[in-house]
Amino acid sequence: GESVGLHLPTLSVQEGDNSIINCAYSNSASDYFIWYKQESGKGPQFIIDIRSNMDKRQGQRVTVLLNKTVKHLSLQIAATQPGDSAVYFCAESQGGSEKLVFGKGTKLTVNP
Amino acid sequence: EPEVTQTPSHQVTQMGQEVILRCVPISNHLYFYWYRQILGQKVEFLVSFYNNEISEKSEIFDDQFSVERPDGSNFTLKIRSTKLEDSAMYFCASSEQGSNWSPLHFGNGTRLTVT
């Protein structure tokens, strides 16, 4: 069946450190992947996306890596700040479907 | 930056009552969605809407649910007869080119509490 899951439910880092949040997906037909950040009481906020024809994409302080061989997605946050504290979700999409499948989420806590 | 807005932020209703959750998607977006999130769980797809009709729906979206775009700006989710298990955060989202081509932008949700 389809599933998008996260290896670690919680991650605690020190301010200034780099953070890596991982995600495994099982649907090999998925071809578009998105990372979302959700702060308490808010909706998912788009961070960065990547298509399956790429293996790396960089944004401002964030990098997404895609390994299709092992069906693994990661989000790297450089110089993590207290404002990065939130729950991070990966989501996958498959051509021909409008449904975005979300993972469980990883709660990132940044300690000052 | 344009955003998706949802009203109300919190809705309390009694079991069996009808509720309408409202959303104003981003103005140049053509694809509209409803998702829900039960407390502490994943965000789940309910329905997608394009060109004035439902394009896809999940098994959750049964006959008690309906969506409508009554005018050029609003997008609504109606639950005809609410059940206790409908208590959740309901998120509206919109996308410029569809979920396989452009990211969904979400509103801040309506917390529905069914008592």
In terms of C-beta density within 10 A (0-12 exposed, 13-18 middle, 19 or more buried), how is residue A7 classed?
middle
Look over chain A and give the mean of its residue pLDDT values, rounded to a whole number.
91
Q: Is the pLDDT at A2 greater than 70, yes or no?
A: no
- B63-111 pLDDT tens trace: 999 999 988 899 999 999 999 999 999 999 999 998 888 899 999 999 9
- A38-53 pLDDT tens trace: 998 899 999 999 999 9
- Residues A27, A30, A35, A39, Cα dihedral to 10°: -60
Give residue A8's pLDDT: 47
Q: Label residue B52 left, alpha or beta by phi (over 0 means left) and psi (-120 to 50 means alpha).
A: left
Q: Are A26 and A33 in contact (CB under 8 A)?
A: no
Would you call B55 an interface residue with chain A, using a CB distance cutoff of 8 Å?
yes
Distance from CA of A104 to the nearest CA of B (A): 5
| Separation CA B65–CA B49 (nearest Å) | 13
Of A32, A45, A46, the CB nearest to B100: A32
Token pair recorded at residue A83:
């404002």
Mutate which of A98, A101, A104, A106 to disrupt the B interface (most B C-beta within 10 Å)?
Answer: A98
* pLDDT higher at B40 or A82: A82
